[in-house]
A and B are shown apart, each in its own frame.
Chain A
Amino acid sequence: GENVEQHPSTLSVQEGDSAVIKCTYSDSASNYFPWYKQELGKRPQLIIDIRSNVGEKKDQRIAVTLNKTAKHFSLHITETQPEDSAVYFCAASRGRSNYQLIWGAGTKLIIKP
């Protein structure tokens, strides 16, 4: 069945450096790719998303890139801060439905002071 692979599972970066998390998906019909952030003990929350008709999207220190040909997309966080420490999940739509999502296993991002 369709799946989403997410790497790395844990990422440790120095405060102020950049972090990159990568995901690959298998469903060629997927057209919606959100990223969620889950702080310790909290619920996942949407931080940014991208649709298949766009190659890159930025929101302040966060950006997402999409390569539909290679079926992969990435989250980039620049100038990392302690509050960026969390688990990040990527997801891909199951086909063209924005509602049904296939989730990656998550990346634990650790920001070292």
Chain B
Amino acid sequence: NAGVTQTPKFQVLKTGQSMTLQCAQDMNHEYMSWYRQDPGMGLRLIHYSVGAGITDQGEVPNGYNVSRSTTEDFPLRLLSAAPSQTSVYFCASSSDTEAFFGQGTRLTVV
């Protein structure tokens, strides 16, 4: 049982480049979410989805897009990377009792 698989683990981007962070879960959860983690700021919600075809914005959605074409997959797309997007990103898949996180992606934008 893989749980939540998130790739890549590390990424360096140049300002203005775009990229997609992949997230897949095999627990058949309807609710999935993306967070960014910055020192001293906890986990901030970027986007979330309550099921295939349904997405919504979290606290800090600017500069990011998501899609949910299947229950399993919830990719996060950075449209035009900026240094302010340097962070650690976590995907999570949630039951009604627990959020299961992916391994995280450490993204650096130079």
Residues of A within 8 A of B (CB): 6, 9, 34, 36, 42-46, 49, 89, 98-101, 103-106
CB-based contact B48/A100 at 8 Å: yes
For A104, give its contact among B42, B45, B48, B101 (CB under 8 Å): B42
A-B contact count (CB 8 A): 42
CB-based contact B97/A98 at 8 Å: yes
DSSP class of A's interface residues: helix, strand, loop or mixed? strand
Chain B contacts of A105 at CB under 8 A?
A: 40-42
CB-based contact A45/B42 at 8 Å: no
Chain A contacts of B45 at CB under 8 A?
A: 100
Given known A99-B50, A103-B43, A104-B42, contact A43–B104 (CB-CB < 8 A): yes
Q: Compute how far the CA of A98 lies from the CA of B50 in the bound complex, rounded to whole angstroms.
A: 12
Of residues 44 through 100 on chain B, the ones whose CB sits less than 8 Å from some CB of chain A are 44-45, 48, 50, 90, 94, 96-99
CB distance from B10 to the nearest CB of A (A): 11
